[in-house]
Chains A and B, each alone.
Chain A
């Protein structure tokens, strides 16, 4: 059973536009929600993360919106740039024994110049 569902699978955005990726989770024990950026042949890099005590977190052009009652969270990339073209993974974890992360299936973002 997929613990974290992510959409869309792929996304094409014009330079300067807003990229939005959505995730939903099942386990209410999760209390940590990071987003990772991965380039081909590289390991995932931690981009931004949120805990459920806040509904939004912003770091530079990246914003996480979190809806605890709906068990959903999303990543917004403002002023998207060609260098943002990568695969983005949402994840959830915490309070689950090993505190390991459960990842979504990824969104391949392409930003067109």
Chain B
């Protein structure tokens, strides 16, 4: 399968715990996006990488959130001290080459904070 993959698919955690999600983009895609989707809403932009550089962060990305893409391939999104309001689907999307716009999404990680 050459699509975007995300792990885990589901995560249930208790409030205050830290969680980390992983995204593997389509091979050789140099741009990677993280979005958050809450129930009944469209995805909202969180942050963006071009290769290993994190170039932009949304104001939705509080200090408790951190994202990395260490070698310009896979990316991780960590949430520290989770809150119930963090419960959402976290989506990753990758984009191919400069000048292209098509964003291909992974299946998402569903986070539930109890």
Binding site for A on B (CB under 8 A): 4, 6, 31, 33, 35, 40-45, 48, 55-56, 91, 95, 101-108, 110
Separation of A94 and B102 alpha carbons in the complex (Å): 10
Scoring A45, A101, A106 by chain B CB atoms within 10 A of each residue's CB, the highest score goes to A101
The secondary structure that dominates the B interface is strand
Scoring B6, B55, B103 by chain A CB atoms within 10 A of each residue's CB, the highest score goes to B103
Say yes or no: A46 contacts B41, CB within 8 Å: no
Say yes or no: A106 contacts B40, CB within 8 Å: yes
Q: Chain B residue with minimal CB distance to A42?
A: B107
In the complex, what residues of A have CB within 8 A of residue B110's CB? 41
Question: Size band of the A side of the interface?
Answer: 20 to 34
Separation of A32 and B4 alpha carbons in the complex (Å): 21
Binding site for B on A (CB under 8 A): 4, 6, 32, 34, 36, 41-46, 49, 89, 91, 93-94, 97-106
Say yes or no: A103 contacts B108, CB within 8 Å: no
In the complex, what residues of A have CB within 8 A of residue B4's CB? 43
Q: Chain A residue with minimal CB distance to B43?
A: A103
B33 interface neighbour in A34, A45, A100, A104, Cβ under 8 Å: A100
Separation of A88 and B102 alpha carbons in the complex (Å): 16
Say yes or no: A46 contacts B102, CB within 8 Å: yes
In the complex, what residues of A have CB within 8 A of residue B102's CB? 34, 46, 49
